[in-house]
Structure formats: C-alpha cells, structure tokens
Amino acid sequence: MSRKIVAISGKRLSLSNLEKDLYPSYGFTKAQILEYYRRISKFILPHLKDRALTFKRYPDGVEKDFFFEKRCPSHRPVWVKTAEVRTEDGERKNVCLVNDLETLMWVANLASLELHVPLARASSPETPDCMVFDLDPSDGADILDCARVALILHDLLSELKLANYVKTSGKKGLHVYVPLNSRETTFQETKHFSKAVADIVQKNYPDLVTAKMSKVYRKARVFINWSQNDSSKTMICVYSLRALERPIVSFPLAWNELERLTSEDDPKKLQVMSLDAVGRIENEGELFREVLIKKQRLTRL
C-alpha cells in the first residue's frame, strides 16, 4: 500500500493508495476525489458542520461492495471532532463532525465517497434546520418527472410564503429543501407538514405523484418521500459525490434553470459532474447557502 504523509493546518494526515481508480469505468482516482473535496471544501463544509456524518465507504471503488459507518471509527486521528448521539433504542455512540478541511480529507481518504448527514445538528438532534421533500422516481418515471413535481412543490410552497431550494440527488431524484433554522420546529411538525403537502399534491396530480411508501402505488410515478423528516434519517449532503459509474455530485439548481432544463426534455442535462461543480459555484454563486441561513416558520401549525 502506498502512503503519503501530508500536513494540513499543522495536522498530520496519512493518505493511502492515491493512485487507486475508484470509478474504474470512467477513470477517477482517489487523488482526484481528494482534490475535488479540497476544492469544494469552502462550500460543502458549512453544510456538514456539526452534523453526525454517516460514512458510505467504497474501499474497492464504486463497482465493488460498500459499507455504511455511523460510528466515528476508533482509529481516527486525535484531532477529529466527535459528538455523542443517541440512537432510537437508547444506545449512545460517538459520531464524526466534519468541521474542517483536514477532517474532510481524512474522510475522503477512507473512500467515503458519499457523505450523508441528518437534517439536524448533533447538539440539537430533535430540531431540524430544514424540511425536505425527497423526490424519488419509480421505474418508468425519470428525473424529468421529478422536476415537474419539484416545480409544483415550488409553486405551492411559494404560495405558502416559504422560500424553498432544489438540488439534484446526484442519482435519479431531486431534493426540495425548506429552510427553518429556528430551534422551535420539531421533526414531528416537519413530518406532519410535509405529509400534508405530499398528500394534497398527490390528490391533485394522481398520475404524476404518489405520497405512499408502498411500491404498489409507485408505478411510473414520482414518490414524494416526506418521511425523511425524521431524526433517524440522513440525506446526501449537497456537493457530495455519488457512487455511480461517473463522479456525479448532488448539486443545487436555480428554479428558473430547472424550469428551462425541464422544457428541454433531456434528463442528462440535469446532472452535474464533479469537474464542473466548483466553476459553476464561482459563476452562479452558492445557491444552497440560504438553506443554512434563512429563518422561517411553518405556516399556522
């Protein structure tokens, strides 16, 4: 195994197997993955900050087996920040907080290509910072169908005077976020609110949408998964890589851009490659920044 010791802000980190190709059918080495996360760090770190990271590790690349790791590994460097959280059944566990570049590099070096985080911070696990609608196309539906549902959700939420933002999942779906950023809204409320929204959209667009978990109802439709609004669930972090054939990232889109791309009817145009990500943020701005800042309350709950 080849190793290379680097120092970041005075902290020593041992990087391994940098030449290993983790996206073999596309050609994207671990060195390129680390370089992507280094360049995007300024933008992704605020979204990871103080949240319990779930590692999704691909030690032998995206075509081989992966495993999830929720606990912060005991072999972590001493400078990695951790927090103690409780699982549903009362177990306590230590989780990693990715608050700085060196930790992000350490995480990427463990071949954790995908970075998943909860909607709440580790210090206040019951109060989400945002409400989310996870749009998931079933077989026969695609990301363009998701985009149509996202645009309906956008109009509806805007009618309710709730600012909302959209990002690609990096796979086949889209995620619509409603920032809250107040400690008073609970998961019970966001779950409840999002379910009511999903139900009414489904009732009005039955051929396009389903709000039911059961696969039977999901034939060629978009599933509005409201149940992600839960302290035990995680979402793929914005700007995280996805473990697909190509190094695609979860990336925010402006609503008018989504509208335009949807009318062009080419699902491929909705995906953003890691190589284009930093350039796009520099040109268009960090479209997901407001998700962390904007304070809103759910209407009349």
Partner 1 sequence: MKARDPVKVSSKSSPVMGKGVSSRGIWSGTLSFSLVAIPVHLVKAVEPGRVSFRMLHRKDYSPLKTRMFCPEEETIVPPDEIVRGYEIAHDSYILITDEELESVTPERSRTIEIIEFIDAKEIDPIYYDHPYYLVPSKGGEKAYCLLAEAMRQTHRAGLAKFVLSEREHLVVVKSTEGALAVITLHYGEEILPKESISAKEEVEDEEKNHIKKKIRKMMTDFDPEKYADERRKKILTILKSKVKEQAPVEAPEIEEEGRTGPADLVATLRESMRKVKKKR
- Dihedral (CA of 217, 221, 225, 226) sign: negative
The residue behind tokens 């391994």 is 16
Interface with partner 1, residue 260, by CB under 8 A: no
Residue with smaller CB distance to partner 1, 162 or 236: 162
Q: In angstroms, give the least distance from the CB of 51 to partner 1.
A: 20
Q: What is the DSSP string of 46-107?
A: HHHTTSBPEEEE-TT-TTS--EEE-SPPTT--TT--EEEEE-TTS-EEEEEB--SHHHHHHH
Q: Which of residues 181-210 bind partner 1 (CB under 8 A)?
A: 188, 192-193, 195-197, 200-201, 204
How big is the site for partner 1, counted in residues (CB under 8 A)? Answer: 30
Residue with smaller CB distance to partner 1, 165 or 239: 165
Residue with smaller CB distance to partner 1, 152 or 273: 152
147 CB-near residues (< 8 Å, 6+ apart)? 174, 258, 261, 262, 270
Q: Are strands 174-179 and 165-168 parallel, antiparallel or unpaired?
A: antiparallel
Q: How far is CA 283 from CA 67, 80, 280, in A?
A: 36, 33, 5
Interface with partner 1, residue 152, by CB under 8 A: yes
Give the number of other CB atoms < 10 A from CB of residue 97.
Answer: 21
Q: In angstroms, give the least distance from the CB of 104 to partner 1.
A: 22
**Contact letters (x/-) for partner 1, 76-105, by CB under 8 A?**
----------x--xxxxxx-----------
Tell me which of 8, 13, 45, 151 binds partner 1, using CB under 8 A.
Answer: 151
Which residues contact partner 1 (rule: CB under 8 A)? 60, 64-65, 74-75, 86, 89-94, 151-152, 155-156, 159-160, 188, 192-193, 195-197, 200-201, 204, 299-301
